């Protein structure tokens, strides 16, 4: 006798609020040894216009290795995950929650995506979500693209020319004269 919609006279089925992730949210992290990913959930339901927080029954869909606390007397639960490097390489990880009040009414099933990107190799730099080869000495990553561009050491006054020498920029370096 479960209804897909709640009649108006019942009122107040469980709902997520506060720190709970929005439906369809994405949490992006970059993997490092010991990375800790946490999600927080808050839920309540109303009975005679009063907020209630007693959830003896709930379900979490979570990545392997994630642990979640029970919902406390304030309707709060926290999930903690220390993803492995292999999990980071595996792609996206769904994470969902549903709570049930003492009358058996269920909240919406709220889901989010946990994205953990694998680490870059020692000869690579992180550029957004990509790992790209490091720029050669005398070059840096462009702020408007992912390309490596020449550093003008003369214009930046990072050359080591003496005050009596002139500086001229070259591709990847500079000359003092």
Distance CA 7, CA 2 (A): 11
Tens digit of each residue's pLDDT (9 = 90 or more) over 132-176 = 999 999 999 998 888 999 999 999 999 999 989 999 999 999 999
Tens digit of each residue's pLDDT (9 = 90 or more) over 82-138 = 999 999 988 899 999 999 999 899 999 999 999 999 888 899 988 887 889 999 999
pLDDT of residue 83: 96
**DSSP notation for 16-39:** E-TTSPPTT-EEEEE--TT--EEE
- End-to-end, the C-alpha distance of the chain in Å comes to 89
């Amino acid at each position: 006798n479960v209804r897909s919609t709640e009649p108006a006279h019942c009122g107040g089925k469980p709902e997520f609020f506060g720190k709970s992730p929005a439906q369809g949210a994405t949490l992006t992290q970059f993997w490092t040894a010991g990375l800790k990913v946490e999600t927080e959930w808050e839920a309540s339901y109303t009975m005679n216009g009063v907020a209630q927080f007693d959830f003896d029954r709930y379900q979490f869909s979570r990545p392997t290795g994630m642990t979640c606390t029970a919902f406390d007397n304030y309707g709060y639960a926290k999930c903690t995950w220390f993803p492995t490097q292999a999990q980071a390489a595996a792609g996206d990880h769904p994470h969902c929650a549903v709570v049930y009040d003492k009358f058996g009414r269920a909240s919406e099933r709220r889901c989010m995506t946990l994205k953990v990107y694998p680490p870059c190799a020692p000869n690579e730099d992180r550029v957004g979500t990509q790992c790209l080869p490091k720029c050669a000495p005398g070059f840096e990553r462009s702020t408007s693209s992912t390309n490596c561009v020449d550093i003008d050491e003369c214009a930046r006054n990072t050359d080591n020319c003496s005050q009596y020498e002139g500086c001229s920029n070259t591709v990847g370096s500079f000359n003092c004269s």
